Amino acid sequence: MKVSDFDFELPERLIAQTPLAERTASRLLVLHRADGSIEHRTFTDLAEYLGPGDTLVLNDTKVLPARLIGAKADTGAKAELLLLKRLEGDRWEALVKPGKKIRRGTELHFGAAENGGAPLLTAMVEEEGEMGARVVRFQYRGIFQELLDRLGQMPLPPYIKETLDDRDRYQTVYARNEGSAAAPTAGLHFTESFLERLEAQGVKLCRITLHVGLGTFRPVSAEEVQEHHMHAEWYSVSGESAALLNEARASGGRIVAVGTTSARTLETIGQRFGEGPIEACSGWTDIFIYPGYRFTLVGALLTNFHLPKSTLVMLVSALAGREKILNAYREAVAEEYRFFSFGDAMFITE
């Protein structure tokens, strides 16, 4: 299976640069995977496709203001860090710019020095990885999180050129566990009132956590799909959430994943526990889902529209079928749906 099998034409004008004024003002393409039929709706119409017996699974990760703009200590040249995950203590995995000029042993400064003293935040590059990945160790005075809130910017995807004045526009309304380098963007469509409406009609809400990391930023460089390897990301499922999933499975209810991050977490624990009861758990997952994969827990999926040849297009193709997904994407382009993080939504159902 070739990566080029998941390519399609996407006009640049359809890449959404800013969030809509109202989270629920987006459009919704409904794809019925049984026959490939398509409906064009608005996002709040999702309520018509959900009801008693459905369990909606939300990724409650919270995005860190993980983009730091500073300078190299020796030359003063501009340098950028994108924090991906904390390894231990003050050591972090990060992406750097410019990658070719920030090597092991480089010292980076962030935040203006006060009264000729040390900068607010210093990072030393300790290890080098591939494609701009580095391990850095921070030095600072005070509380790291407070400094990050003060100095950091929201890590918007590179295809978004606009600045974001309100940080909360890149957080879901249910975000609570901080540690992500990108938002689980399918959840950006929800408001608190819409979630309350779904609960009132019998939909159960289940919260899990997957902190989005390097895998989101790395393109597929291999020619064959099977040659690509996902970067590991940390996930957590509470006892309460495990009980909700067990109840849904036992009753024959439908488990509806909100976003590909929720889907990957669900399938990770589905493989981990098999036919047995799901338990509270946490760990690292590098699960890669592409056509041929047999889903264990996910019965339906709410997602945004993704990049051509991306692992996310491969995941939705595994659920609905490659030809049906590519046909739906072609129709979305023809109907001028908004694509990517701040774009419109797709609901893949029976």
Report domain extents, the chain: 3-63+166-349, 67-151
Residues contacting 25, CB < 8 A, separation 6+? 42, 43
Question: What does the alpha-carbon distance between residue 338 and residue 188 come to, in Å, rounded to a whole number?
Answer: 14
Question: What band does 51 get if pLDDT is binned at 50, 70 and 90?
Answer: very high
326 in Cβ contact with 36 (< 8 Å)? no
Question: What does the alpha-carbon distance between residue 305 and residue 346 come to, in Å, rounded to a whole number?
Answer: 7
Question: What band does 115 get if pLDDT is binned at 50, 70 and 90?
Answer: low
What would the CATH number be for the domain defined by 67-151? 2.40.10.240
Question: What does the alpha-carbon distance between residue 182 and residue 180 come to, in Å, rounded to a whole number?
Answer: 5
Q: Decide: helix, strand or coil at residue 337.
A: coil
Largest CA distance in the chain: 68
Nearest to 108 by CA among 143, 66, 137: 137
Q: Which helix (H) or strand (E) holds 261?
A: helix 260-273
pTM of the entire predicted model: 0.91
Fold of 3-63+166-349: QueA-like (3.40.1780)
Question: What does the alpha-carbon distance between residue 174 and residue 190 come to, in Å, rounded to a whole number?
Answer: 9
Residues contacting 13, CB < 8 A, separation 6+? none
Predicted confidence (pLDDT) per residue in 204-262, tens digit = 999 999 999 866 667 788 899 999 988 889 999 999 999 999 999 999 999 999 999 99
- DSSP-derived secondary structure letter, 230: P
- In percent, how much of the chain has pLDDT > 70? 97
Nearest to 171 by CA among 91, 266, 63: 63
Please say whether the dihedral angle defined by the alpha carbons of residues 162, 337, 66 and 231, taken in this order, is positive or negative.
Answer: negative
